[in-house]
Amino acid sequence: MTDTILKSHSPVKLTPKDFKSDQEVRWCPGCGDHGVLNSVQKAMAAMNIPKEKFAVISGIGCSSRFPYYMDTYGFHTIHGRAAAIASGVKSANPDLEIIQVSGDGDALAIGGNHFIHAIRRNIDMTILLFNNEIYGLTKGQYSPTSKQGMVTKTSPFGTIEQPFHPAELALGAQSKFYARSIDTNIKLTTELILAGSKHKGTSIIEVLQNCVIYNDGAHALITDKETKDDFQLVLHHGERMIFGKNRNKGLVLGGNGKLIIVTIGEFGISEQDILIHDAHNPDPHMAWLLSNMSAPEYPVALGVIRDVAALSYEEKLVQQIKDVQAVSSIKCMDDLLNSGDTWEVK
């Protein structure tokens, strides 16, 4: 059997158009998925990776139609299993660049187990988690991220379930890369996909996505022009956590271990007092605090929340095979067949 060699790609010039397939895009007009598709095609063109090295793998749901719209290798799999199938693709062929697309139902309900275990293993792929807090393709049932009390077709009197915070789940599975964007912010989403691709290991990019039909305005406070500046905190590694229409609000760490919103210039607070974002901090405590902030109590953290280096699963897998092959006397099947106790009948 041949060795899998992790090759470096030669630079190629591609444009977003090169990644558009001949299939008609069938998402509803106004659906947030259109924006993400643009972002992915832009990001891919900027990666300098030959087109044939990409594999886009999805589960089931509106967002999971994604591979059909990409002119790359693609696999539209079955409900919830995309992370497992993508894990197999990457382990089998570590030379591929994997983008895995899932919605909140696909990744966090039926596929929750595969989602957390892909992260735990740290398989090198970028998971785009489209979070619209609803089941769209089945026409409007509550999802594991729907807010408690939400009235849907399967919760006509309001859901009584506690929603998942996807980041909390990912961090619980020891996620090394967690980022968050908004469907309409193509610039930020593109940047995050590039950062996620660069990161070795499982990169989660949660995209707050709007379902215009079944859950319109789910993220309104964060996305509306009037309110968004006060409810978005775009994080940059090494920069202070400052936000607000007038860029005068910031976060400090309170004595009780909680984040506190302060106003620069009030009560003697200066810019120097505001926390500096350290995405590379191996300790997940701050990432947990930041990713769990929700509106209206807090601004919602966007950008790269956590980006900590670690070896990926398939790097370790390939290395282990090399190590064992270096010392084993069994080099081929005939060697194995004749190893151990054998005897000859003459």
Partner 1 sequence: MSQKTKVIEKEEVVIRFSGDSGDGMQLTGTQFSDTSALFGNDVATFPDYPAEIRAPQGTVGGVSGFQLHFGQMEVNTPGDFADVLVAMNPAALKANLKWVKPSGTIIVNEDSFTDKNLEKAGYDSNPLDDENLSDYNLIKARVTSLTKECLKDTELDQKSILRSKNMFTLGMVYWMFDRPLEHTEEFIEKKFKKYPLVVEGNKMVLRAGYNFARTIEALPYNFSVAPAKIKKGIYRNITGNKATAWGLIAVAEKAGLELFCGSYPITPATEIFQELAARKDLGVKTFQAEDEIAGICTSIGASFAGNFAVTTTSGPGLALKTEAAGLAVMTELPLVIVNVQRGGPSTGLPTKTEQADLMQAIHGRSGECPMPVIAASTPSNCFEYAYSAGKIALEHMTPVILLTDGFIANGAEPWRIPKMADLSPIEVPFAKEGDNYQPYARDTEKLARKWAVPGTKGLEHRIGGLEKMDITGTVSYVPENHQVMTDIRSERIRRVANFIPDVPVKGNDDAEVLVVGWGGTYGHLTTAVRELQAEGKSIALAHFHYIFPLPKNTKEVLKRHKKVIVCELNEGQFAEYLRAGFQDIKFNQYNKLQGLPFTVLELKERFNQLLEEK
Exactly one of 14, 28, 73, 278 binds partner 1 (CB under 8 A); which one? 73
320 forms part of the interface with partner 1 (CB under 8 A): yes
Cβ proximity to partner 1, 130 vs 142, nearer residue: 130
Exactly one of 50, 217, 254, 296 binds partner 1 (CB under 8 A); which one? 50
Burial class (CB in 10 A: 0-12, 13-18, 19+), 258: exposed
Calpha distance 209→264 (Å, rounded):
32
User: Which residues fall within 8 angstroms of residue 327, CB to CB, at 6 or more apart?
Assistant: none
Exactly one of 30, 48, 95, 151 binds partner 1 (CB under 8 A); which one? 95
Cβ proximity to partner 1, 253 vs 321, nearer residue: 321
> Which amino acid does the sequence have at 213?
I
334 forms part of the interface with partner 1 (CB under 8 A): yes
Q: Count of residues for the chain?
A: 346
Calpha distance 142→136 (Å, rounded):
9
226 forms part of the interface with partner 1 (CB under 8 A): no
199 forms part of the interface with partner 1 (CB under 8 A): no
DSSP secondary structure of 208-265? E---TTTSTTTTHHHHSTTTHHHHEEEE-TTSB-EESTTS-EEEEE-TTS-EEEEETT
The binding track of 279-308 with respect to partner 1, each residue x by CB under 8 A or -, is ------------------------------
Exactly one of 35, 67, 105, 284 binds partner 1 (CB under 8 A); which one? 67
Residue whose pair of structure tokens reads 């193509």 in the numeric block = 186
Q: Which H or E element spans position 327? A: helix 313-327
Exactly one of 2, 8, 162, 272 binds partner 1 (CB under 8 A); which one? 2
Exactly one of 15, 30, 48, 88 binds partner 1 (CB under 8 A); which one? 88
Number of amino acids touching partner 1 (CB under 8 A): 61
35 to 40, 131, 318: CA distances (angstroms):
9, 14, 36
Exactly one of 15, 30, 92, 154 binds partner 1 (CB under 8 A); which one? 92
User: Which residues fall within 8 angstroms of residue 149, CB to CB, at 6 or more apart?
Assistant: 158, 159
**Listed ranges 177-185, 186-194, 206-214, 333-341: which one lies at the site for partner 1 (CB under 8 A):** 333-341
20 forms part of the interface with partner 1 (CB under 8 A): no
Cβ proximity to partner 1, 54 vs 231, nearer residue: 54
Cβ-count burial 11-46 (b if 16+ within 10 Å, e if not): eeebebeebeeeeeeebeeebbbbbbbbbbbbbbbb
Cβ at position 233, least distance to partner 1 in Å: 34
Strand-pairing partners, residue 56, are 74, 99
325 forms part of the interface with partner 1 (CB under 8 A): yes
Residues making contact with partner 1 (CB under 8 A):
1-4, 21, 23, 50-53, 55, 57, 60, 67-68, 70-78, 81, 84-93, 95-96, 113-114, 117, 317, 320-321, 324-325, 328, 330-334, 336-338, 340-346
